[in-house]
Chains A and B, each alone.
Chain A
Amino acid sequence: MTRGRSVRFVAQLLFTLGVCAFLVVPVVMSVLAGVTENYFTGIRSGLTLRWVGQVWSLYAGTIVLSLQIALACLVAALVLGVPIAYVLARRPSRVTRLFEEMLVLPVAVPGLATALALILLYGEWRGFRASWLFILVGHVVFTLPFMVRSVLAVMAAIDLAALEEAAASLGASFVSRFFGVIVPNARYGILAGALMVVTLSIGEFNITWMLHTPLTKTIPVGLADSYASMRLEIGSAYTIVFFVMIVPLLVAMQWLARERSPTKTTRHGR
Chain B
Amino acid sequence: MDDNAASVRLSHCAKTFADGTRALLPLDLDIAAGETIVFLGPSGCGKTTLLRIIAGLTEPDAGGRVFFGGDDVTARPIERRNVGMVFQSYALFPNMSVIDNVAYGLRVRGIAFAERRVHALRLLGMMQLEGFGDRRVDQLSGGQRQRVALARALAVKPRLLLLDEPLTALDAKLREDLRIEIDRLLRSLGVTSVYVTHDQAEAMALGDRIAVMSHGRVEQIGTPQDIYYRPASGFVADFIGTMNRVTGVRENDVLHVPGGALALPAGVTSAGDVMFRPEDARIVDARSAALRGRIISAFFLGNLTRIVVELGAGQSIIIDTVLRRTFAKDETIGIDVDPDALVVLEGRNPSANVV
Contact = CB atoms under 8 A, between A and B. Distances in A.
Given A262-B138, A266-B138, A165 B91 contact: yes
Nearest to B169: A270
Contacts of A184: 93, 95
Interface in A156-193: 158-159, 162-163, 165-173, 176, 180-181, 184-185, 187
Contacts of A158: 94
Interface string B308-326: 0000000000000000000
Interface string B74-115: 000111101111010111111100000000110011000000
Nearest to B107: A180
Contacts of A168: 57, 77-79
A170 B89 contact: no
A263 interface: yes
Contact of B105 (A163, A171, A173, A262): A171
Interface in B130-153: 137-138, 149, 152-153
Contact of A166 (B91, B95, B137): B91
Contacts of B149: 166
Nearest to A270: B89
A72 to B, nearest CB: 28
A168 B104 CA distance: 11
Interface in A16-43: none
A262 B137 CA distance: 11
A167 B94 contact: no
B89 A269 contact: no
B94 A169 contact: no
B158 to A, nearest CB: 8
Contacts of A185: 93-95
B77 A165 contact: no
Given A171-B82, A185-B94, A166 B87 contact: yes
Contact of A163 (B77, B83, B91, B108): B91
B93 A163 contact: yes
Contacts of A165: 57, 78, 85, 87, 91
Interface in A219-270: 262-263, 265-266, 269-270
Contacts of A173: 79, 108
Given A162-B89, A162-B91, A263-B94, A169 B55 contact: yes
A181 B95 contact: yes
A171 B108 contact: yes
B156 interface: yes
Contact of B138 (A162, A187, A269): A269
A166 B138 contact: no
A169 B95 contact: no
Contacts of A172: 79, 104-105, 108
A159 B78 contact: no
Contacts of B79: 168-173
Nearest to A184: B95
A171 B156 CA distance: 9
B104 A266 contact: no
Given A165-B78, A269-B138, A270-B89, A170 B94 contact: no
Contacts of A169: 55, 78-79, 83-85, 153, 162
Contacts of B78: 165, 168-169
Contacts of A269: 138
A268 to B, nearest CB: 9
Contact of B91 (A159, A180, A263, A265): A159
A128 to B, nearest CB: 40
A263 B95 CA distance: 10
Given A168-B77, A184-B95, A266-B138, A159 B89 contact: yes
A189 to B, nearest CB: 13
A203 B73 CA distance: 55
Contacts of A262: 138
Interface in A187-214: 187
A180 B91 CA distance: 14
A162 B83 CA distance: 15
A259 B177 CA distance: 36
A263 B80 CA distance: 31
Nearest to A269: B138
Nearest to B79: A168
Given A166-B149, A170-B84, A176-B108, 18 more contacts: A158-B94, A159-B91, A162-B87, A165-B57, A165-B87, A166-B87, A166-B91, A166-B93, A166-B152, A169-B85, A169-B162, A170-B79, A171-B109, A171-B156, A172-B104, A173-B108, A180-B108, A181-B93
Interface of A: 158-159, 162-163, 165-173, 176, 180-181, 184-185, 187, 262-263, 265-266, 269-270
16 contacts: A159-B89, A162-B87, A166-B92, A168-B78, A170-B105, A170-B108, A170-B153, A171-B80, A171-B156, A173-B79, A181-B93, A184-B93, A185-B95, A187-B95, A263-B94, A269-B138
Question: When A and B form their complex, which 9 residue pairs have the shortest distance between CB atoms, in order from nearest?
Answer: A170-B105, A169-B85, A162-B91, A184-B95, A166-B91, A266-B138, A172-B108, A168-B79, A168-B78
